[in-house]
């Protein structure tokens, strides 16, 4: 992740990092779904918001779910071909962060690839020397059906945060395929919370 680790309290670089990933992700998805046109950067920028009320509404448009205690929808993106909501334990943007994305016309593999490209692009832009590697899979249950969460881990070679884990899983939401990406310090990875959240999705 970025070379300067996010603080547990107060505004951190993680918020800007995730929003940057979101902007690039939506840009890639829109290009893939609808083609590039003049004014796209402005349209993408205006589709983002840090209003928890709006973020909760966008989350409800993606899927029905129940968040663990202390978590809340913090930021969102609502565009004509894609929706995204950022969920965390506070508005400071510190890890863990749950990023839920839906894009019309793209399948799980395509959305996941765009998400990973966007995150790597932001890492490169921020000068972080980190590379995530696939380390395994976890069996989970979503909407009463078995699903597979792919696990990636990476550590900054230039110092900064410790080992970071990405968990990626997909399910069918209200408007098509949804990809959920969880970003967390390995030490903060809470299997019980994640399992409860995934099991609540309807």
Domain assignment present for residue 1? The answer is: no
Q: Which two tokens stand for residue 23?
A: 């902007």
- What CATH code is carried by the domain that includes residue 171? 3.40.1000
pLDDT at 12: 46
Domain assignment present for residue 3? The answer is: no
pLDDT at 5: 38
Domain assignment present for residue 2? The answer is: no
pTM: 0.80
First-to-final CA distance of the chain: 32
Q: How many domains does the chain have?
A: 1
pLDDT at 104: 78
Quote the domain boundaries for residue 160.
13-200
Domain assignment present for residue 141? The answer is: yes
Pairing type for strands 145-154 and 133-142 reads antiparallel
Question: Can you name the residues that pair with 146 across neighbouring β-strands?
Answer: 141
Which of 89, 93, 110 has its CA nearest to residue 101?
A: 110
Residues 6+ apart with CB under 8 A from 37: none
Q: Which two tokens stand for residue 91?
A: 């508005």
Domain assignment present for residue 129? The answer is: yes
Domain assignment present for residue 52? The answer is: yes
Q: Which two tokens stand for residue 69?
A: 């205690």
Would you put residue 181 in left (φ > 0), alpha (ψ -120 to 50) or beta?
beta
Helix, strand, coil: what percent of the chain each, to 5? 35, 30, 35
Mean pLDDT by 10 residues, the chain (202 residues): 37 53 59 50 61 93 95 86 85 75 83 77 68 93 95 79 87 93 90 95 94
Cα angle 157, 161, 162; round to 5: 80
pLDDT at 90: 72
């Amino acid at each position: 992740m970025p070379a300067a680790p996010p603080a547990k309290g107060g505004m951190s670089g993680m918020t800007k990092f995730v929003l940057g990933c979101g902007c690039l992700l939506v840009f890639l998805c829109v290009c893939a779904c609808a083609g590039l046109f003049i004014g796209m950067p402005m349209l993408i920028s205006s589709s983002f918001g840090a209003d928890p009320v709006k973020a909760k509404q966008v989350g409800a448009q993606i899927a029905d779910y129940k968040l663990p205690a202390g978590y809340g929808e913090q930021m969102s993106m609502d565009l004509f071909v894609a929706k995204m909501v950022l969920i965390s334990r506070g508005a400071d943007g510190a890890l863990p962060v749950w990023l839920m994305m839906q894009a019309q016309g793209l399948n799980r593999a395509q959305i996941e690839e765009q998400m990973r490209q966007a995150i790597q692009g932001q890492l490169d832009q921020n000068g972080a020397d980190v590379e995530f590697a696939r380390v395994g899979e976890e069996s989970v249950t979503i909407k009463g059906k078995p699903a597979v969460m792919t696990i990636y881990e990476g550590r900054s070679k230039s110092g900064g945060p410790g080992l970071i884990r990405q968990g990626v899983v997909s399910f069918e939401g209200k408007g098509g395929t949804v990809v959920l990406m969880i970003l967390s310090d390995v030490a903060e990875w809470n299997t019980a919370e994640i399992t409860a959240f995934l099991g609540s999705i309807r």
